[in-house]
Chain A
């Protein structure tokens, strides 16, 4: 009986696998997965903040490669301050894109690891909380009242994206001088890698600058209790410099602990760095998947953000 079932199971799995259309595999093969690497990056003085122009040049040179040299042209490491009214069009565009994401009721339903499906947030329940403008690109962040659901869009001349996410429940409050990473990932669009990180900032936080693993920095847009930044390429944000009225401090981000990744080859203690995700225990980084969150930043228990590799 069991043998028959096992045979049927094999057949069912093979049949299911054979039903996969060819387009997803073709898209996966078309992506440019190359990360920025030190040996390609122009030399930058240690500790120096990149100017917006220099950063953009560096990213364009090293982050995208010859296949897509201009998709992120004009991106800047420092966001541009704009009035809210200047992003109204981007907000409206994002709203439309988010509303278009579910093409069927089933598409809105996601099965979690428990096997119990739950629905993605409806755009009707979300409000825009932050606009980040870098050159011709506008990143809009939407969230619901308890920050358990977010959505975001990037709109640019040759590049758009829209995404939604929902966590398991209301997110914990953020310390006044701390930050909480709610969602961070590396992903790719039309073969071009890019990364983003968004989270909440305490009431006392005036600025958050991300320190990327390659030594470069990306200044976030910080406002309305949220912060966000994105950058071409798939370099991790290894830390954040958080500014408050009391000064600045640096908080490590859990780039070295990715729950979805096996231990480093050779038995090293670090795991792969596909993405950086939530900062709470058991969170970590699995790009594009999920996140928990917890407070980091000045006065926060940074230890809660460090994790060991758990992928084995």
Chain B
């Protein structure tokens, strides 16, 4: 959806308003996608924040796109996948006077509770143990419902790679569901 300018305000204010509307409209969806790809809420929030900072910097150009959200999602996925191999980082900002920290701690408690729930779901556990790129393909295909061609474009790979990655991911999930043993990643034995 292309952002349409509002009338009656100057260009700078109009663009700011457009971007703020974009953030309002897109942040929750971007957070869901990030969370499902990186499987960690704090990391997902960081990623979306950085993604939106980047979009803000390019907003004069991004706003003219047909699908600004798709651009942001693509940026988000790439941030999630490109960044993780070299360095992962957990960031938490603390301010005793800031009520946000209480919300954050509440989130953490929620996350721990969610982990308990996850333990009851083999499929969810197996999803969490997939490699992020493999999980990203499954999220884009089965949560975002993107066609394989769009997933390929978004990830910068071929449709064949998307198919094979999804197939391997599904196979691993299938194996995990079938196995009556704890889900662990085992090193190959010789």
Contacts and interface: CB of A to CB of B under 8 A. Distances in A.
Contact of A16 (B35, B94, B100, B133): B35
A192 to B, nearest CB: 12
A23 B107 contact: yes
B80 A311 contact: no
B151 interface: no
A265 B65 contact: yes
Contact of B108 (A107, A120, A310): A107
Contact of B19 (A20, A33, A110): A33
A123 B8 CA distance: 54
A258 B40 CA distance: 22
A24 B56 contact: no
Contacts of A166: 87-89
A101 B153 CA distance: 38
A85 interface: no
Nearest to A9: B142
Interface string B110-125: 1110110100010110
B88 A33 contact: no
A266 B65 CA distance: 9
A165 B43 CA distance: 12
A9 B170 contact: yes
Contacts of B162: none
A287 interface: yes
A124 interface: no
B88 A115 contact: no
A291 B86 contact: yes
Contact of A25 (B27, B78, B115): B27
Nearest to A186: B53
Nearest to B24: A29
B28 A25 contact: yes
Nearest to B143: A13
A265 B38 CA distance: 26
B82 A23 contact: no
A106 B47 contact: no
Nearest to B12: A39
Nearest to A101: B92
A272 B75 contact: yes
A187 B88 contact: no
A262 B85 contact: no
B138 A260 contact: no
B131 A259 contact: no
Contact of B31 (A8, A25, A286): A25
Interface string A1-41: 11001101110111111011101110111010111010110
Interface of A: 1-2, 5-6, 8-10, 12-17, 19-21, 23-25, 27-29, 31, 33-35, 37, 39-40, 97, 100-101, 103-104, 106-108, 110-116, 118, 120, 159-168, 185-190, 193, 234, 258-262, 264-266, 272-275, 277-278, 282-284, 286-292, 310-312
In the A-B complex, the 4 residue pairs with the closest CB atoms: A290-B87, A260-B79, A274-B54, A289-B83
12 contacts: A10-B143, A17-B36, A24-B41, A28-B52, A113-B85, A114-B85, A114-B131, A259-B83, A260-B50, A265-B71, A274-B57, A292-B87
Given A20-B32, A24-B31, A260-B79, 8 more contacts: A8-B177, A21-B41, A24-B107, A101-B94, A161-B93, A166-B87, A188-B49, A234-B56
